Amino acid sequence: MDYKQYIAEKLHVDGVSQAEIYEAIALPPNSEMGDYALPCFKFAKALRKSPVLIAEDLKNSLQTDDVISEISAVNGYLNFKINKDGFVRATLDKILTEKEKFGASEQGAGKTVCIDYSSINIAKPFHIGHLSTTVLGGALYRIFNFLGYKAVGINHLGDYGTQFGKLISAYKRWGDKDTVQQGGIRALNELYVRFHQEAEEHPEYDDEARAYFKRIEQGDEECQTLFRWFKELTLKDVQKIYEMLDIHFDSYAGESFYSDKMQPVIDELREKNLLVESRGAQIVDLEEYGMSPCIILKSDGTSLYATRDMAAAMYRKKKYDFDKCLYVVAYQQNLHFKQFFKVLELMGKDWAKDLVHVAYGMVSLEEGTMSTRKGNVVFLEDVIQKCIDKAAAILSEKNPNLEDKASVAQKVGVGAVIFGALYNNKIKDIVFSYDKVLNFDGETSVYVQYTCARAYSVLQKGGVPERFEIPALTAEEIELVKALAAFPEAVNSAAEKYEPSYVARFAVDVAQKFNKFYFDCKILAAENEQTKNFRLALTNATLQTLKNAFALLGIGIPEKM
Protein backbone atom coordinates (compact mmCIF):
# COMPACT_ATOMS: atom_id res chain seq x y z
CA MET A 1 0.00 0.00 0.00
CA ASP A 2 1.12 3.55 -0.73
CA TYR A 3 0.41 4.99 2.72
CA LYS A 4 1.12 8.55 1.62
CA GLN A 5 -1.52 8.16 -1.09
CA TYR A 6 -3.96 6.61 1.39
CA ILE A 7 -3.52 9.57 3.76
CA ALA A 8 -3.63 12.16 0.96
CA GLU A 9 -6.96 10.79 -0.29
CA LYS A 10 -8.50 11.31 3.15
CA LEU A 11 -7.36 14.94 3.41
CA HIS A 12 -9.22 17.90 1.90
CA VAL A 13 -7.57 21.32 2.02
CA ASP A 14 -9.33 24.17 0.17
CA GLY A 15 -7.37 25.34 -2.85
CA VAL A 16 -4.75 22.56 -2.53
CA SER A 17 -4.66 19.60 -4.91
CA GLN A 18 -4.34 16.03 -3.74
CA ALA A 19 -1.00 15.80 -5.59
CA GLU A 20 0.32 18.77 -3.58
CA ILE A 21 -0.83 17.19 -0.32
CA TYR A 22 0.83 13.91 -1.34
CA GLU A 23 4.13 15.69 -2.03
CA ALA A 24 3.96 17.53 1.30
CA ILE A 25 3.52 14.37 3.40
CA ALA A 26 6.87 13.40 4.89
CA LEU A 27 8.52 11.07 7.39
CA PRO A 28 8.83 12.88 10.74
CA PRO A 29 12.37 13.11 12.18
CA ASN A 30 11.14 11.62 15.47
CA SER A 31 9.24 8.37 14.86
CA GLU A 32 7.56 8.63 18.28
CA MET A 33 5.46 11.48 16.88
CA GLY A 34 4.16 9.38 14.02
CA ASP A 35 4.96 7.38 10.90
CA TYR A 36 3.92 10.18 8.52
CA ALA A 37 3.42 13.92 9.00
CA LEU A 38 1.75 16.70 7.05
CA PRO A 39 3.39 20.12 7.72
CA CYS A 40 0.57 22.69 7.50
CA PHE A 41 2.76 25.82 7.23
CA LYS A 42 2.54 26.13 3.45
CA PHE A 43 -1.28 26.22 3.63
CA ALA A 44 -1.41 29.12 6.12
CA LYS A 45 -1.38 31.92 3.53
CA ALA A 46 -4.06 30.41 1.30
CA LEU A 47 -6.37 29.51 4.21
CA ARG A 48 -5.56 32.63 6.26
CA LYS A 49 -5.15 30.53 9.36
CA SER A 50 -2.25 29.59 11.57
CA PRO A 51 -0.64 26.19 10.82
CA VAL A 52 -1.61 25.10 14.35
CA LEU A 53 -5.32 25.76 13.67
CA ILE A 54 -5.17 24.10 10.24
CA ALA A 55 -3.62 20.94 11.73
CA GLU A 56 -6.22 20.91 14.52
CA ASP A 57 -9.15 21.37 12.09
CA LEU A 58 -7.88 18.59 9.83
CA LYS A 59 -7.44 16.27 12.80
CA ASN A 60 -11.06 16.87 13.88
CA SER A 61 -12.30 16.07 10.37
CA LEU A 62 -10.64 12.63 10.29
CA GLN A 63 -11.24 9.27 11.94
CA THR A 64 -8.93 6.37 12.63
CA ASP A 65 -9.52 3.06 10.82
CA ASP A 66 -7.82 -0.30 10.32
CA VAL A 67 -4.92 1.42 8.50
CA ILE A 68 -4.48 4.66 10.46
CA SER A 69 -4.35 3.85 14.17
CA GLU A 70 -3.74 7.34 15.60
CA ILE A 71 -3.95 11.00 14.43
CA SER A 72 -2.50 13.95 16.34
CA ALA A 73 -1.93 17.67 15.75
CA VAL A 74 1.31 19.05 17.20
CA ASN A 75 2.75 22.55 16.57
CA GLY A 76 1.35 22.86 13.03
CA TYR A 77 2.03 19.24 12.06
CA LEU A 78 -0.67 16.65 11.44
CA ASN A 79 0.84 13.33 12.50
CA PHE A 80 -0.35 9.83 11.55
CA LYS A 81 0.48 6.50 13.09
CA ILE A 82 -0.05 3.46 10.92
CA ASN A 83 -1.40 0.11 12.10
CA LYS A 84 1.96 -1.57 12.62
CA ASP A 85 0.99 -5.18 11.93
CA GLY A 86 -0.75 -4.28 8.65
CA PHE A 87 2.08 -1.98 7.61
CA VAL A 88 4.79 -4.58 8.28
CA ARG A 89 2.86 -7.34 6.51
CA ALA A 90 2.13 -5.16 3.46
CA THR A 91 5.74 -3.94 3.19
CA LEU A 92 7.38 -7.36 3.50
CA ASP A 93 4.86 -9.00 1.16
CA LYS A 94 5.54 -6.31 -1.44
CA ILE A 95 9.34 -6.70 -1.26
CA LEU A 96 9.34 -10.50 -1.23
CA THR A 97 6.80 -10.70 -4.08
CA GLU A 98 8.32 -8.06 -6.34
CA LYS A 99 11.96 -8.98 -5.52
CA GLU A 100 14.34 -7.18 -7.93
CA LYS A 101 11.40 -5.07 -9.14
CA PHE A 102 10.73 -3.61 -5.68
CA GLY A 103 11.08 0.17 -5.96
CA ALA A 104 10.53 0.14 -9.72
CA SER A 105 7.55 1.73 -11.46
CA GLU A 106 6.09 2.54 -14.85
CA GLN A 107 5.83 6.29 -14.18
CA GLY A 108 8.11 7.00 -17.13
CA ALA A 109 6.37 4.71 -19.62
CA GLY A 110 6.41 6.26 -23.08
CA LYS A 111 8.95 8.93 -22.09
CA THR A 112 12.57 9.22 -23.20
CA VAL A 113 15.44 10.70 -21.21
CA CYS A 114 18.74 11.31 -23.01
CA ILE A 115 21.74 11.33 -20.66
CA ASP A 116 25.06 12.75 -21.87
CA TYR A 117 27.81 11.49 -19.54
CA SER A 118 31.44 10.40 -19.27
CA SER A 119 32.29 12.12 -22.59
CA ILE A 120 35.92 11.10 -22.58
CA ASN A 121 38.52 12.72 -24.80
CA ILE A 122 40.03 10.53 -27.49
CA ALA A 123 43.76 9.86 -27.01
CA LYS A 124 43.72 11.43 -23.55
CA PRO A 125 43.79 9.49 -20.29
CA PHE A 126 40.61 8.36 -18.57
CA HIS A 127 41.57 10.01 -15.28
CA ILE A 128 40.13 10.47 -11.80
CA GLY A 129 38.43 13.70 -12.96
CA HIS A 130 36.13 11.61 -15.20
CA LEU A 131 34.90 9.54 -12.26
CA SER A 132 31.89 11.65 -11.23
CA THR A 133 30.41 12.20 -14.68
CA THR A 134 30.81 8.49 -15.49
CA VAL A 135 29.27 6.98 -12.34
CA LEU A 136 26.67 9.75 -11.86
CA GLY A 137 25.48 9.34 -15.43
CA GLY A 138 25.56 5.55 -15.14
CA ALA A 139 23.44 5.64 -11.97
CA LEU A 140 20.89 8.04 -13.51
CA TYR A 141 20.72 5.81 -16.61
CA ARG A 142 19.82 2.80 -14.45
CA ILE A 143 17.45 4.78 -12.20
CA PHE A 144 15.42 6.19 -15.10
CA ASN A 145 15.19 2.77 -16.75
CA PHE A 146 14.07 1.36 -13.37
CA LEU A 147 11.23 3.89 -13.32
CA GLY A 148 9.96 2.88 -16.75
CA TYR A 149 11.60 5.59 -18.87
CA LYS A 150 13.54 4.81 -22.00
CA ALA A 151 17.00 6.08 -21.02
CA VAL A 152 19.44 6.81 -23.85
CA GLY A 153 23.06 6.84 -22.66
CA ILE A 154 25.26 9.09 -24.81
CA ASN A 155 29.05 9.21 -24.68
CA HIS A 156 29.69 12.57 -26.39
CA LEU A 157 33.30 11.79 -27.29
CA GLY A 158 35.85 14.59 -27.40
CA ASP A 159 37.12 13.66 -30.85
CA TYR A 160 37.48 17.04 -32.52
CA GLY A 161 40.10 19.76 -32.28
CA THR A 162 43.72 20.80 -32.69
CA GLN A 163 44.91 18.22 -30.13
CA PHE A 164 44.60 15.57 -32.85
CA GLY A 165 46.90 17.60 -35.06
CA LYS A 166 49.33 17.74 -32.13
CA LEU A 167 49.15 13.98 -31.71
CA ILE A 168 49.78 13.32 -35.40
CA SER A 169 52.73 15.72 -35.31
CA ALA A 170 54.12 14.00 -32.19
CA TYR A 171 53.52 10.49 -33.54
CA LYS A 172 55.24 11.22 -36.87
CA ARG A 173 58.19 12.76 -35.04
CA TRP A 174 58.75 10.44 -32.08
CA GLY A 175 56.26 7.57 -32.20
CA ASP A 176 56.28 4.09 -33.70
CA LYS A 177 53.36 1.81 -34.44
CA ASP A 178 54.27 -1.14 -32.18
CA THR A 179 54.93 1.02 -29.10
CA VAL A 180 51.65 2.90 -29.48
CA GLN A 181 49.67 -0.26 -30.32
CA GLN A 182 50.93 -1.98 -27.17
CA GLY A 183 50.89 1.09 -24.91
CA GLY A 184 47.47 2.32 -26.00
CA ILE A 185 46.17 5.45 -24.33
CA ARG A 186 49.22 5.76 -22.05
CA ALA A 187 51.58 5.80 -25.02
CA LEU A 188 49.42 8.41 -26.74
CA ASN A 189 49.40 10.51 -23.57
CA GLU A 190 53.23 10.38 -23.41
CA LEU A 191 53.39 11.68 -26.99
CA TYR A 192 50.89 14.44 -26.16
CA VAL A 193 52.89 15.53 -23.09
CA ARG A 194 56.15 15.48 -25.06
CA PHE A 195 54.62 17.62 -27.80
CA HIS A 196 53.75 20.36 -25.27
CA GLN A 197 57.21 20.21 -23.74
CA GLU A 198 58.95 20.44 -27.12
CA ALA A 199 56.56 23.11 -28.46
CA GLU A 200 57.76 25.51 -25.76
CA GLU A 201 61.15 25.50 -27.53
CA HIS A 202 59.69 25.11 -31.04
CA PRO A 203 56.50 27.20 -31.42
CA GLU A 204 56.40 26.23 -35.09
CA TYR A 205 55.18 22.80 -33.94
CA ASP A 206 51.83 24.42 -33.03
CA ASP A 207 51.46 25.70 -36.59
CA GLU A 208 52.20 22.22 -37.87
CA ALA A 209 49.57 20.77 -35.51
CA ARG A 210 46.93 23.17 -36.81
CA ALA A 211 47.83 22.18 -40.35
CA TYR A 212 47.47 18.49 -39.55
CA PHE A 213 44.05 19.06 -37.96
CA LYS A 214 42.96 20.95 -41.05
CA ARG A 215 44.03 17.96 -43.13
CA ILE A 216 41.83 15.73 -40.93
CA GLU A 217 38.87 18.05 -41.59
CA GLN A 218 39.61 18.05 -45.32
CA GLY A 219 39.56 14.23 -45.43
CA ASP A 220 43.30 13.63 -45.95
CA GLU A 221 43.62 9.82 -46.04
CA GLU A 222 46.80 9.50 -43.97
CA CYS A 223 45.61 11.85 -41.22
CA GLN A 224 42.12 10.32 -41.16
CA THR A 225 43.64 6.83 -40.80
CA LEU A 226 45.79 7.91 -37.86
CA PHE A 227 42.85 9.70 -36.26
CA ARG A 228 40.63 6.58 -36.52
CA TRP A 229 43.44 4.44 -35.09
CA PHE A 230 43.89 6.75 -32.08
CA LYS A 231 40.12 6.55 -31.52
CA GLU A 232 40.06 2.73 -31.68
CA LEU A 233 42.97 2.46 -29.21
CA THR A 234 41.25 4.83 -26.78
CA LEU A 235 37.87 3.09 -26.86
CA LYS A 236 39.50 -0.32 -26.45
CA ASP A 237 41.31 0.87 -23.32
CA VAL A 238 38.37 2.68 -21.73
CA GLN A 239 35.96 -0.19 -22.40
CA LYS A 240 37.77 -2.21 -19.71
CA ILE A 241 36.99 0.55 -17.19
CA TYR A 242 33.38 0.85 -18.34
CA GLU A 243 32.93 -2.90 -17.82
CA MET A 244 34.35 -2.70 -14.28
CA LEU A 245 32.03 0.23 -13.43
CA ASP A 246 28.98 -1.41 -15.12
CA ILE A 247 28.63 1.57 -17.49
CA HIS A 248 26.71 1.28 -20.76
CA PHE A 249 25.99 3.61 -23.68
CA ASP A 250 23.54 3.57 -26.56
CA SER A 251 25.48 6.15 -28.60
CA TYR A 252 29.12 7.12 -29.02
CA ALA A 253 28.34 10.06 -31.32
CA GLY A 254 31.04 12.57 -30.42
CA GLU A 255 31.95 16.08 -31.50
CA SER A 256 33.21 15.04 -34.95
CA PHE A 257 29.81 13.44 -35.69
CA TYR A 258 28.29 16.93 -35.69
CA SER A 259 30.91 18.61 -37.90
CA ASP A 260 28.53 18.49 -40.90
CA LYS A 261 25.47 19.39 -38.81
CA MET A 262 26.60 22.82 -37.60
CA GLN A 263 26.01 24.82 -40.77
CA PRO A 264 22.20 24.50 -40.59
CA VAL A 265 22.37 25.85 -37.01
CA ILE A 266 24.46 28.83 -38.15
CA ASP A 267 22.11 29.42 -41.11
CA GLU A 268 19.05 29.39 -38.82
CA LEU A 269 20.69 31.83 -36.40
CA ARG A 270 21.33 34.18 -39.34
CA GLU A 271 17.78 33.82 -40.66
CA LYS A 272 16.41 34.74 -37.23
CA ASN A 273 18.75 37.75 -36.97
CA LEU A 274 20.40 36.39 -33.84
CA LEU A 275 24.00 36.49 -35.13
CA VAL A 276 26.01 39.64 -34.53
CA GLU A 277 29.57 40.36 -35.65
CA SER A 278 31.99 41.24 -32.86
CA ARG A 279 35.72 41.71 -33.56
CA GLY A 280 35.41 39.43 -36.56
CA ALA A 281 33.64 36.68 -34.61
CA GLN A 282 29.98 35.73 -34.95
CA ILE A 283 28.14 35.87 -31.61
CA VAL A 284 24.69 35.84 -30.04
CA ASP A 285 24.41 38.82 -27.70
CA LEU A 286 23.05 37.70 -24.30
CA GLU A 287 23.74 40.87 -22.34
CA GLU A 288 20.06 41.48 -21.56
CA TYR A 289 19.95 38.04 -19.93
CA GLY A 290 22.93 38.81 -17.70
CA MET A 291 25.38 36.67 -19.66
CA SER A 292 28.47 37.24 -21.77
CA PRO A 293 28.09 36.66 -25.54
CA CYS A 294 27.73 33.12 -26.85
CA ILE A 295 30.43 32.80 -29.53
CA ILE A 296 29.20 30.75 -32.49
CA LEU A 297 32.14 31.23 -34.91
CA LYS A 298 35.63 32.50 -34.13
CA SER A 299 37.16 35.20 -36.30
CA ASP A 300 38.89 32.53 -38.41
CA GLY A 301 35.50 30.90 -39.12
CA THR A 302 36.01 27.84 -36.91
CA SER A 303 33.25 26.56 -34.62
CA LEU A 304 33.22 26.25 -30.85
CA TYR A 305 31.69 23.94 -28.26
CA ALA A 306 28.44 25.92 -28.21
CA THR A 307 27.94 25.50 -31.97
CA ARG A 308 28.51 21.75 -31.78
CA ASP A 309 26.38 21.36 -28.65
CA MET A 310 23.45 23.15 -30.28
CA ALA A 311 23.77 20.91 -33.34
CA ALA A 312 23.89 17.88 -31.01
CA ALA A 313 20.80 19.00 -29.06
CA MET A 314 18.82 19.53 -32.28
CA TYR A 315 19.93 16.14 -33.63
CA ARG A 316 18.97 14.39 -30.37
CA LYS A 317 15.54 16.02 -30.30
CA LYS A 318 14.90 14.89 -33.87
CA LYS A 319 16.25 11.34 -33.35
CA TYR A 320 14.96 10.53 -29.85
CA ASP A 321 12.18 13.11 -29.28
CA PHE A 322 13.33 13.27 -25.66
CA ASP A 323 11.24 14.48 -22.74
CA LYS A 324 14.45 15.47 -20.95
CA CYS A 325 18.05 15.72 -22.10
CA LEU A 326 20.54 15.68 -19.22
CA TYR A 327 24.15 16.86 -19.43
CA VAL A 328 26.24 15.39 -16.60
CA VAL A 329 29.11 17.89 -16.68
CA ALA A 330 31.16 19.65 -13.96
CA TYR A 331 29.90 22.94 -12.52
CA GLN A 332 32.76 24.87 -14.19
CA GLN A 333 30.67 24.67 -17.37
CA ASN A 334 27.59 26.34 -15.81
CA LEU A 335 27.84 29.44 -18.02
CA HIS A 336 28.35 27.40 -21.20
CA PHE A 337 25.12 25.48 -20.66
CA LYS A 338 23.12 28.54 -19.65
CA GLN A 339 24.32 30.26 -22.83
CA PHE A 340 23.53 27.62 -25.39
CA PHE A 341 20.23 26.67 -23.68
CA LYS A 342 19.23 30.36 -23.91
CA VAL A 343 20.27 30.60 -27.58
CA LEU A 344 18.12 27.57 -28.44
CA GLU A 345 15.23 29.21 -26.58
CA LEU A 346 15.74 32.43 -28.58
CA MET A 347 15.67 30.33 -31.75
CA GLY A 348 12.13 29.33 -30.79
CA LYS A 349 12.91 25.77 -29.69
CA ASP A 350 10.20 25.22 -27.08
CA TRP A 351 11.98 22.03 -25.96
CA ALA A 352 14.96 24.07 -24.73
CA LYS A 353 13.22 24.03 -21.32
CA ASP A 354 13.78 20.24 -21.26
CA LEU A 355 17.57 20.56 -21.37
CA VAL A 356 19.13 20.11 -17.93
CA HIS A 357 22.71 20.67 -16.82
CA VAL A 358 23.36 18.12 -14.05
CA ALA A 359 26.34 19.88 -12.47
CA TYR A 360 28.73 18.15 -10.10
CA GLY A 361 31.80 19.04 -8.06
CA MET A 362 35.40 18.13 -8.75
CA VAL A 363 37.19 14.96 -7.68
CA SER A 364 40.82 15.09 -6.64
CA LEU A 365 43.18 12.81 -4.77
CA GLU A 366 44.79 13.80 -1.50
CA GLU A 367 48.05 14.25 -3.45
CA GLY A 368 46.71 17.31 -5.32
CA THR A 369 45.65 18.55 -8.75
CA MET A 370 46.36 17.22 -12.23
CA SER A 371 47.32 18.50 -15.67
CA THR A 372 47.13 16.36 -18.82
CA ARG A 373 49.53 18.65 -20.68
CA LYS A 374 52.20 18.48 -17.98
CA GLY A 375 51.77 14.74 -17.49
CA ASN A 376 50.89 14.72 -13.77
CA VAL A 377 47.64 12.86 -14.35
CA VAL A 378 46.06 10.12 -12.22
CA PHE A 379 44.62 7.34 -14.36
CA LEU A 380 41.21 6.14 -13.14
CA GLU A 381 42.25 2.57 -13.91
CA ASP A 382 45.13 2.94 -11.42
CA VAL A 383 42.79 4.32 -8.74
CA ILE A 384 40.39 1.38 -9.21
CA GLN A 385 43.22 -1.16 -9.17
CA LYS A 386 44.69 0.33 -6.02
CA CYS A 387 41.28 0.06 -4.31
CA ILE A 388 40.97 -3.57 -5.42
CA ASP A 389 44.48 -4.36 -4.12
CA LYS A 390 43.79 -2.63 -0.80
CA ALA A 391 40.46 -4.46 -0.50
CA ALA A 392 42.24 -7.78 -1.12
CA ALA A 393 44.75 -7.01 1.64
CA ILE A 394 42.01 -6.05 4.13
CA LEU A 395 39.96 -9.16 3.28
CA SER A 396 43.03 -11.40 3.70
CA GLU A 397 43.55 -9.96 7.16
CA LYS A 398 39.89 -10.19 8.22
CA ASN A 399 39.07 -13.55 6.61
CA PRO A 400 42.20 -15.51 5.52
CA ASN A 401 40.10 -18.49 4.35
CA LEU A 402 37.68 -16.47 2.21
CA GLU A 403 36.78 -18.31 -1.00
CA ASP A 404 37.04 -16.56 -4.37
CA LYS A 405 38.90 -13.66 -2.74
CA ALA A 406 39.84 -12.02 -6.06
CA SER A 407 36.19 -11.71 -7.13
CA VAL A 408 35.13 -10.35 -3.73
CA ALA A 409 38.02 -7.85 -3.71
CA GLN A 410 36.95 -6.68 -7.18
CA LYS A 411 33.38 -6.01 -6.01
CA VAL A 412 34.58 -4.32 -2.82
CA GLY A 413 37.28 -2.20 -4.51
CA VAL A 414 35.19 -1.10 -7.49
CA GLY A 415 32.18 -0.49 -5.23
CA ALA A 416 34.28 1.74 -2.98
CA VAL A 417 35.30 3.92 -5.93
CA ILE A 418 31.72 4.28 -7.21
CA PHE A 419 30.18 4.86 -3.77
CA GLY A 420 32.88 7.39 -2.87
CA ALA A 421 31.69 9.53 -5.78
CA LEU A 422 27.95 9.03 -5.23
CA TYR A 423 27.40 9.18 -1.46
CA ASN A 424 27.60 12.95 -1.02
CA ASN A 425 25.50 15.60 -2.75
CA LYS A 426 26.80 15.72 -6.33
CA ILE A 427 27.67 19.42 -6.28
CA LYS A 428 30.25 18.97 -3.50
CA ASP A 429 33.93 18.74 -4.36
CA ILE A 430 35.41 15.38 -3.34
CA VAL A 431 38.90 14.64 -2.07
CA PHE A 432 39.20 10.90 -2.69
CA SER A 433 40.69 8.94 0.22
CA TYR A 434 41.44 5.21 -0.10
CA ASP A 435 41.24 4.71 3.68
CA LYS A 436 37.85 6.41 3.98
CA VAL A 437 36.14 4.60 1.10
CA LEU A 438 37.37 1.19 2.34
CA ASN A 439 36.33 1.70 5.96
CA PHE A 440 34.25 -1.30 7.12
CA ASP A 441 32.62 0.77 9.89
CA GLY A 442 31.91 4.07 8.11
CA GLU A 443 29.17 5.29 5.81
CA THR A 444 30.67 3.33 2.94
CA SER A 445 29.79 0.72 0.34
CA VAL A 446 31.99 -1.75 2.22
CA TYR A 447 29.81 -1.35 5.31
CA VAL A 448 26.67 -2.05 3.24
CA GLN A 449 28.30 -5.01 1.45
CA TYR A 450 29.43 -6.49 4.78
CA THR A 451 25.88 -6.08 6.10
CA CYS A 452 24.58 -8.01 3.07
CA ALA A 453 27.17 -10.75 3.63
CA ARG A 454 25.90 -11.00 7.22
CA ALA A 455 22.32 -11.33 5.94
CA TYR A 456 23.38 -14.00 3.42
CA SER A 457 25.04 -15.95 6.27
CA VAL A 458 21.89 -15.79 8.43
CA LEU A 459 19.69 -17.01 5.55
CA GLN A 460 22.13 -19.77 4.66
CA LYS A 461 21.91 -21.10 8.22
CA GLY A 462 18.20 -20.46 8.87
CA GLY A 463 16.70 -20.81 5.41
CA VAL A 464 14.10 -18.62 3.72
CA PRO A 465 10.63 -19.28 5.16
CA GLU A 466 7.81 -19.86 2.68
CA ARG A 467 5.29 -18.24 5.04
CA PHE A 468 5.47 -16.03 8.08
CA GLU A 469 3.13 -14.47 10.63
CA ILE A 470 3.56 -11.15 12.41
CA PRO A 471 4.67 -11.63 16.05
CA ALA A 472 4.70 -9.02 18.81
CA LEU A 473 6.90 -6.43 17.12
CA THR A 474 9.99 -4.81 18.62
CA ALA A 475 10.98 -1.19 18.03
CA GLU A 476 14.04 -2.34 16.03
CA GLU A 477 11.89 -4.44 13.69
CA ILE A 478 9.42 -1.62 13.07
CA GLU A 479 12.20 0.90 12.40
CA LEU A 480 13.85 -1.46 9.90
CA VAL A 481 10.59 -2.09 8.03
CA LYS A 482 9.90 1.65 7.89
CA ALA A 483 13.36 2.18 6.43
CA LEU A 484 12.76 -0.52 3.77
CA ALA A 485 9.39 0.99 2.85
CA ALA A 486 11.12 4.27 2.00
CA PHE A 487 13.04 2.76 -0.95
CA PRO A 488 10.57 3.74 -3.73
CA GLU A 489 10.58 7.31 -2.42
CA ALA A 490 14.41 7.37 -2.39
CA VAL A 491 14.47 6.20 -6.02
CA ASN A 492 11.88 8.81 -7.05
CA SER A 493 13.81 11.58 -5.27
CA ALA A 494 17.03 10.47 -6.99
CA ALA A 495 15.31 10.79 -10.39
CA GLU A 496 13.49 14.06 -9.66
CA LYS A 497 16.60 15.79 -8.33
CA TYR A 498 19.14 13.96 -10.54
CA GLU A 499 20.80 12.96 -7.28
CA PRO A 500 21.82 9.27 -6.83
CA SER A 501 23.06 10.11 -3.33
CA TYR A 502 19.44 9.57 -2.16
CA VAL A 503 19.83 5.89 -3.02
CA ALA A 504 23.35 5.66 -1.57
CA ARG A 505 22.30 7.26 1.73
CA PHE A 506 19.18 5.09 1.83
CA ALA A 507 21.37 1.98 1.62
CA VAL A 508 23.56 3.11 4.53
CA ASP A 509 20.49 3.95 6.62
CA VAL A 510 18.96 0.51 6.02
CA ALA A 511 22.29 -1.21 6.77
CA GLN A 512 22.57 0.68 10.07
CA LYS A 513 19.02 -0.24 11.08
CA PHE A 514 19.52 -3.88 10.06
CA ASN A 515 22.68 -4.13 12.17
CA LYS A 516 20.83 -2.71 15.18
CA PHE A 517 18.07 -5.28 14.61
CA TYR A 518 20.70 -8.04 14.12
CA PHE A 519 22.44 -7.31 17.44
CA ASP A 520 19.32 -6.54 19.52
CA CYS A 521 16.94 -9.23 18.23
CA LYS A 522 17.85 -12.92 18.15
CA ILE A 523 17.12 -14.35 14.71
CA LEU A 524 18.20 -18.00 14.58
CA ALA A 525 17.83 -18.35 18.36
CA ALA A 526 14.48 -16.52 18.54
CA GLU A 527 12.11 -17.45 21.39
CA ASN A 528 9.68 -19.27 19.09
CA GLU A 529 9.23 -20.46 15.50
CA GLN A 530 6.82 -17.65 14.56
CA THR A 531 9.33 -14.96 15.59
CA LYS A 532 12.22 -16.81 13.94
CA ASN A 533 10.40 -17.13 10.60
CA PHE A 534 9.34 -13.48 10.69
CA ARG A 535 12.91 -12.32 11.39
CA LEU A 536 14.27 -14.52 8.61
CA ALA A 537 11.69 -12.98 6.23
CA LEU A 538 12.71 -9.50 7.40
CA THR A 539 16.39 -10.38 6.83
CA ASN A 540 15.56 -11.62 3.33
CA ALA A 541 13.58 -8.45 2.54
CA THR A 542 16.48 -6.31 3.76
CA LEU A 543 18.97 -8.18 1.60
CA GLN A 544 16.71 -7.88 -1.47
CA THR A 545 16.22 -4.14 -0.97
CA LEU A 546 19.94 -3.44 -0.50
CA LYS A 547 20.73 -5.49 -3.62
CA ASN A 548 18.18 -3.42 -5.57
CA ALA A 549 19.67 -0.16 -4.29
CA PHE A 550 23.25 -1.15 -5.10
CA ALA A 551 22.25 -2.45 -8.53
CA LEU A 552 21.04 1.08 -9.36
CA LEU A 553 24.45 2.45 -8.32
CA GLY A 554 26.32 -0.20 -10.32
CA ILE A 555 27.81 -1.94 -7.28
CA GLY A 556 27.95 -5.71 -6.80
CA ILE A 557 27.10 -7.55 -3.57
CA PRO A 558 29.38 -10.45 -2.55
CA GLU A 559 27.75 -13.32 -0.65
CA LYS A 560 30.74 -13.72 1.67
CA MET A 561 33.34 -11.29 2.96
Could you give the domains of the chain?
A: 3-82 (3.30.1360.70), 161-232 (no CATH), 263-301 (no CATH)
* 96, 60 Cβ separation under 8 angstroms: no
Q: How far apart are CA 383 and CA 417, in angstroms?
A: 8
Predicted pLDDT of residue 367: 65
Predicted pLDDT of residue 370: 47
Q: For the chain, what is the mean pLDDT?
A: 92
**Looking at the predicted structure, is the pLDDT value of residue 368 above 90?**
no
Beta-carbon neighbour count of residue 166 at 10 Å? 24
pLDDT tens digits, one per residue of 333-363: 999 999 999 999 999 999 999 999 999 998 8
Residues of the chain above pLDDT 70, percent: 98
* 43, 54 Cβ separation under 8 angstroms: yes
Q: How far apart are CA 289 and CA 119, in angstroms?
A: 29
Predicted pLDDT of residue 372: 47
For residue 76, CA distances in Å to 31, 39, 40, 52, 72 come to 17, 6, 6, 4, 10
Average pLDDT over residues 193-221: 89
Q: Which of 501, 500, 496, 511 is nearest to 547 (CA)?
A: 511
- Name the pLDDT band for 256 (thresholds 50, 70, 90): confident
Average pLDDT over residues 291-319: 91
Average pLDDT over residues 293-316: 90
Helix axes 487-496, 529-553, angle to 10 degrees: 10
Enumerate residues 6+ apart whose C-beta is below 8 A from 346. Answer: 272, 274, 284
Query: Which one has a higher pLDDT value, 417 or 299?
Result: 417
Predicted pLDDT of residue 468: 96
- Name the pLDDT band for 271 (thresholds 50, 70, 90): very high
Average pLDDT over residues 455-484: 96
Beta bridge partners of 371: 376
Taking the CA atoms of 331, 333, 339 and 343 in sequence, report the sign of the dihedral they define: negative
**Looking at the predicted structure, is the pLDDT value of residue 241 above 50?**
yes
Average pLDDT over residues 495-509: 98
* 80, 89 Cβ separation under 8 angstroms: no
The pTM of this model reads: 0.89
**Looking at the predicted structure, is the pLDDT value of residue 376 above 70?**
no
Q: Which of 104, 204, 168 is nearest to 488 (CA)?
A: 104
Predicted pLDDT of residue 472: 95
Average pLDDT over residues 3-15: 91
